[in-house]
């Protein structure tokens, strides 16, 4: 009798061990910048997504499957994005991609048919380019407002307060050129004047010539279509030169990192558009959820900023699609499930996809850095 009981106990332990070892895992891949000028962007997108996956996995996963995020650094180089994405598809066999960074990088993925050849969906890219929105690629799902919507918000706000002379600093690549075109159209639409437009090279902060040319044009408002490093350097040099224009950066610039780079005395007054709610809000359910999980899991070497929220939101949208796709999802089932997200409430933030519309959000806000280096609405 004792031997029978012992045998059953051992058999149960073995079966449990087999079940745990064979537990389903959904692999999600990310190829993004974790080095170079956009390293903070890629890092915070990854950390936000990882926090959501950690919370879900602790509760038993989705349909019993845990989610594993596999990330690799492309250095913000489009050719590396393509090469590494293909390599990841072969080696890690992800069900989906998430959180790629950069307009040119995502365009390269689409142009080289990386997604279509594998039938793999890409969710929550860090780009709001109209060129991507217009493509409405069947495998690309965007969870942020477009740069055109951000720029319209800027132009509307500043023209209503009596400003009409605008200048633009833009990154000379698909990201900058796309947003520049949107800005020119928006300024023209309200009868404003574009008095200067100057560029800088991608993966650099060489903005000295642009600072001089824009200052000479005497704009009232300067729109920064630039990453954090270049925006910070431009504002620093412009302040030092005595240019008193209002500077407004698109959401790809992170306010806290600008303060770290150039100090609060030079960063004060910089306005920034945002495509997700304030991370310090206590009224938005999504933000409260993130705050609670951040306190619980304590991610290292990152801040709870807007980019972190963007990564978390993208992962939550992916998680909802996984639930709708059912057990044992395929890439196609997941893609089709994403298109069923009509006015999906992620916690006071709404994402909506249809078969004909993969641009899921229109949320845009404008914040400004105060003398303490904090963002105010």
CA atoms of 20 and 169, how far apart (whole Å): 54
Answer whether 0.85 is exceeded by the pTM.
yes
Provide the terminal-to-terminal Cα distance of the chain, rounded to the nearest Å: 73
- Range 85-110 average pLDDT: 97
What is the reported pLDDT for 374? 87
What is the reported pLDDT for 232? 97
Q: Tally Cβ neighbours within 10 Å of residue 241.
A: 12
Q: Is the pLDDT of residue 106 over 90?
A: yes
Enumerate residues 6+ apart whose C-beta is below 8 A from 128: 142, 144, 145, 146, 147, 148, 149, 150, 250, 251, 275
Q: What is the dihedral of CA 88, 102, 42, 227, to 10 degrees?
A: 160
Q: Tally Cβ neighbours within 10 Å of residue 160.
A: 9
What is the reported pLDDT for 124? 98
Closest by alpha carbon to 243, among 270, 214, 265?
214
The better pLDDT of the pair 32, 37 is held by 32
**210-231 confidence digits (pLDDT tens):** 999 999 999 999 999 999 999 9
**272-283 confidence digits (pLDDT tens):** 999 999 999 999
**60-80 confidence digits (pLDDT tens):** 999 999 999 999 999 999 999
**250-269 confidence digits (pLDDT tens):** 999 999 999 999 999 999 99
Tokens found for residue 10 = 């051992």
Asked whether 270 and 279 are in contact (CB, 8 A), the reply is no
What is the reported pLDDT for 37? 85
**228-240 confidence digits (pLDDT tens):** 999 999 999 999 9
**313-343 confidence digits (pLDDT tens):** 999 999 999 999 999 999 999 999 999 999 9
What is the reported pLDDT for 23? 64
Tokens found for residue 115 = 């997604």
Domains of the chain are 22-144+282-351 (3.40.50.2300), 147-274 (3.40.50.2300)
């Amino acid at each position: 009798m004792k031997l029978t009981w012992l045998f059953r106990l051992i058999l149960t332990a073995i079966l449990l061990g087999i079940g745990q070892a064979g537990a389903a895992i959904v692999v999600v891949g990310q190829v993004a910048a974790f080095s170079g000028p956009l390293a903070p962007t890629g890092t915070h997108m990854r950390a936000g997504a990882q926090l959501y996956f950690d919370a879900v996995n602790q509760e038993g996963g989705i349909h019993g499957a845990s989610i594993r995020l596999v990330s690799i650094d492309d250095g913000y180089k489009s050719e590396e994005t393509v090469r590494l994405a293909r390599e990841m598809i072969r080696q890690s066999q992800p069900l989906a991609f998430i959180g790629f960074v950069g307009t040119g990088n995502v365009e390269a993925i689409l142009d080289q048919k990386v997604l279509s050849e594998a039938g793999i969906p890409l969710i929550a890219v860090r780009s709001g380019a109209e060129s991507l929105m217009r493509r409405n690629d069947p495998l690309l799902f965007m969870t942020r407002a477009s740069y055109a919507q951000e720029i319209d918000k800027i132009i509307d706000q500043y023209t209503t307060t009596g400003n009409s002379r605008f200048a633009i600093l833009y990154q000379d690549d698909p990201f900058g050129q796309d947003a520049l075109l949107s800005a020119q159209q928006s300024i023209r639409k309200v009868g404003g004047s574009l008095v200067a437009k100057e560029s800088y090279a991608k993966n650099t902060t060489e903005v000295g010539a642009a600072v001089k040319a824009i200052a000479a044009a005497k704009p009232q408002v300067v729109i920064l279509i630039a990453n954090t490093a270049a925006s910070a350097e431009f504002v620093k040099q412009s302040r030092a030169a005595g240019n008193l224009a209002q500077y407004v950066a698109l959401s790809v610039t992170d306010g806290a990192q600008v303060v770290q780079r150039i100090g609060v005395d030079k960063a004060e007054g910089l306005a920034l558009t945002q495509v997700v709610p304030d991370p310090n809000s206590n009224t938005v359910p999504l933000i409260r959820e993130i705050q609670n999980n951040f306190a619980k899991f304590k991610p290292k070497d990152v801040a709870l900023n807007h980019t972190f929220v963007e990564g978390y939101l993208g992962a939550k949208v992916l998680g909802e699609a996984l639930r709708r796709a059912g057990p044992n999802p395929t890439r196609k089932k997941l893609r089709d499930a994403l298109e069923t997200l009509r006015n999906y409430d992620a916690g006071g933030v709404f994402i909506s996809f249809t078969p004909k519309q993969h641009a899921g959000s229109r949320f845009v806000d404008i914040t400004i850095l105060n003398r303490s280096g904090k963002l105010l609405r």
